[in-house]
Amino acid sequence: MALDAKMDGKLDFKVVGTRVNRPDGIDKVTGRARFGADMTAPGMLVGKVLRSPHAHAKIKSIDTSAAEALEGVLAVVTRADFPEVELDEGTWDVLDNCMAGEKALYDGHAVAAVAAASESVAKKALKLIKVDYEPLPHVIAVDDAMKADAPALHDGRQVENVPEGMGANVVARYEFGHGDIEAGLGKADKVLERTYKTEATHQGYIEPHACLAQVGSDGQADLWCCTQGQYMVRDTCAAIMGLSQSRLKVTASEIGGGFGGKTTVFIEPVALALSKKSGRPVKMVMSRSEVLRATGPTASSSIDIRLGMTEDGQITAGFAELRYQGGAYPGSPVEFGSMSAFAPYDLENVKTVGWDVVANRPKQAAYRAPGAPMAAFAVESAIDELAKGLGLDPLEVRLKNAAREGTKAAYGVTYPAIGLEATLRTAKDHPHWTAPLGENQGRGVACGFWFNFGGNTCVTLNVTPDGTVNVIEGNPDIGGSRASMSMMAAEELGVPYERVRTVIADTASLGLNDVTDGSRVTFAVGLATIEAARAAKREMCKRAAMVWGIDEEAVVWEDGAARPSGPNAGKHDPMTLADIAAIASNTGGPIAGHSEINAEGAGVSFATHMVDTEVDPESGAVKILRYTVFQDAGKAVHPDYVEGQFQGGAVQGIGWALNEAYIYGEDGVLQNPGFLDYRVPVASDLPMIDTVILEIPNPGHPYGVRGVGETSIVPPLAAIANSVSAAAGVRMTSLPMSPPKVLKAIQTG
């Protein structure tokens, strides 16, 4: 039977690669789609959180009596209301972030919550809660937080390899690389040493976190929420609430953006605690201000680079020391930053050292290629500056040093077939590269890399009695995965796309699915979908064989039908999926295929970005004139969505590069918790983001698919910095490149 042969991207695709209608389009434009805040339940209460006004304070006592006495208040919870259960360090941090214990660690840290009959009563109740704080000194900037005498957030959280004498806020150290840096630098004609800084930026999803929790007196609980991973929510909340995982059923709503920020929980355990205490369903919806103050932005960073280059553009050594603060708890993405910094290059001598640092800011959450954009900003800026200083073409220099199949990456792996070189060559041949530039305009390029994940995945594919198909998967659709799964199932089964509907299951309906992260879904869930479809095909071939009275091995599945094959199969009319489905009851019962895997073989993805900017020399304002993304998608299952991912990453990168930043006052209070002063780009700030999809098949996937969602945010910071530096005539090494900062750089040269 030929069903299991890997197609290695050589299949003559009928559905994959087309631009079919998205299944959620009508729902979303008509408002029918149900997001986190769209669910209600009879007797539902409104939950609200009281948050710390201090950046760092000891919580001496909390008096909730007046709030509890207010008419319409059915429950007030503090940390004391959470069960005393054994938690691993990471889950304890999540709980402590959702509801502060002994200390409030940042402005906006939750300290208490109420459930009341209405929002106005809930708000009144919050004002009646008396918290006795003892304010403590705080620290915000990463370099300040590392100092030995900086105010310490925690005791005893340093891992063993942090050298003695480092400040208590330095909690972990990472190191990667090979070769001899000093020897490599010695062979260089020019060595560059620079420090680069980036600010914390928020994922900026449009939909604030929202959930509806219901805990029954029988110990069964249901949770509806907006998340990138209902299984993660289940496992985390079950641990915190002392529930077994099977007792808590979590259903993911439609999601209005996540970008990594919804790979953890913020309000869900609180809603469960309030529901448990009140005996009523409790709905919680964060305000935008709460989202910015208390959910995860990414880390801010400070990075030192040492880079050596020969006169002809050979990089002789690359060293990076990366310092990331990830907010009030360990876990900044500095490890990914350290691993990815030099990943695009084939280097003999390379080393990165990463420091994970805590500071009095909200606990960071994953943000699209966590940790990689800042590292790429530093490395790609340094390469650009050295190349230009030596009079070399920055694309040629990158081509000369580019990682290829067989290259040993700085983080240890040896690459299979990869697409970096293809993106660089395509960029070089693109009309954008040679288009003329005007006065005060500049062009920049940069490369970027992301690992891509696989992971635990379950898919069930059901053939319905009328001959259509349901694919059931367990990963919220944040980038078009329902369309992609339906397409891969249709491709495999040989049926039209319109006959397949993919739905997202709750946690009780499938086995474990890892979070929708790491650009894993189209790859891993796609793999499981293909395997589930192949299992269903095997079953359908078996049923046809039974009807025809021949061996199973004498039946093949081609063009959407079972067909006799081989010399002894005899002559039988093909049986389509619908034919077999119609008589399934008589041939052994319903037909389904399923797949439960821990997917491996996610191919890494590379991109090259090219951007033109114009700088107003009088104001320092930067205008993005033209932007082109060149990225390897392995195989673009649905090109519209792939282009959307390329564009979305570029735009988030533009925001990060130009205007987005967490702004703190001297008091450690966040000054811009709203979209007015936390400036994501608006449509009028942007040109059309052009995209070029390259398809270098991933050998680890039957159709060659690679994840595409994250790589696109890795190059923009550096590409824009390189472009602005060229336009302004001065090297920009600190983000955001806001107008005052650019003007200052121009004025001081």
Partner 1 sequence: MNYQAPTSLDAAVDILAGAKGDCRILAGGTDLLVRMHSDMAEPDTVLDIKRIDSLRAISQEDGGWRIGAAVSAAEMGENADLVADWPGVVEAANLIGSTQIQGRCTIAGNLCNASPAADSVPALVAAEAKARIAGPDGIRDIPVEDVPEGPGKTSLKPGELVASIFLPSRPERSGDAYLRFIPRTEMDIAVVGCGVSLTLDASGNCVAARVALGAVAPTVIVVPEAAEALVGTSVDEDALTKMAAACSEAAKPIDDKRGTAEYRVHMAGVLARRAAVIAKKRAGGAA
Binding site for partner 1 (CB under 8 A): 123, 287, 289, 618-619, 621, 658-659, 663, 671-672, 674, 676-677, 679, 681-682, 684-685, 738-740, 743
Which residue number, 120 or 585, has a Cβ lying nearer to partner 1?
120
SS3 69: helix
Task: Quote the least distance from Cβ 688 to partner 1, whole Å.
Answer: 15
Which residue number, 191 or 621, has a Cβ lying nearer to partner 1?
621
Q: CB-side exposure of 570: number of CA atoms within 13 Å?
A: 10
CA distances for 358 relative to 283, 324, 378, 448, angstroms: 32, 8, 21, 27
Task: Quote the least distance from Cβ 743 to partner 1, whole Å.
Answer: 7
Nearest residue to 109 (alpha-carbon basis) of 96, 127, 92: 96
Number of neighbours of residue 572 by Cβ within 10 angstroms: 17
Which residue number, 366 or 651, has a Cβ lying nearer to partner 1?
651
Residues in the chain: 749
Distance CA 171, CA 158 (A): 4
The tokens describing 256, both together, are: 């209005």
CA distances for 383 relative to 148, 196, 390, 696, angstroms: 33, 13, 11, 25
Number of neighbours of residue 610 by Cβ within 10 angstroms: 26
Task: Quote the least distance from Cβ 288 to partner 1, whole Å.
Answer: 9
Task: Quote the least distance from Cβ 664 to partner 1, whole Å.
Answer: 9
Task: Quote the least distance from Cβ 682 to partner 1, whole Å.
Answer: 5
The tokens describing 86, both together, are: 């054994």
Task: Quote the least distance from Cβ 12 to partner 1, whole Å.
Answer: 46
Nearest residue to 717 (alpha-carbon basis) of 240, 379, 249: 379
Task: Quote the least distance from Cβ 746 to partner 1, whole Å.
Answer: 11
The answer for 9, left when phi > 0, alpha when psi is -120 to 50, beta otherwise, is: left
Are 360 and 704 in contact by the 8 Å Cβ rule? The answer is: no
Which residue number, 140 or 515, has a Cβ lying nearer to partner 1?
140
Which residue number, 117 or 508, has a Cβ lying nearer to partner 1?
117
Distance CA 290, CA 106 (A): 12
What is the b/e burial string over 388-411, where b = at least 16 CB atoms within 10 angstroms of the residue's CB?
beeebebbebbbbbbbeeebbbbb
Which residue number, 160 or 618, has a Cβ lying nearer to partner 1?
618
Which residue number, 194 or 623, has a Cβ lying nearer to partner 1?
623
Distance CA 419, CA 523 (A): 17
Task: Quote the least distance from Cβ 296 to partner 1, whole Å.
Answer: 21
Which residue number, 594 or 679, has a Cβ lying nearer to partner 1?
679
Which residue number, 568 or 671, has a Cβ lying nearer to partner 1?
671
Task: Quote the least distance from Cβ 684 to partner 1, whole Å.
Answer: 4
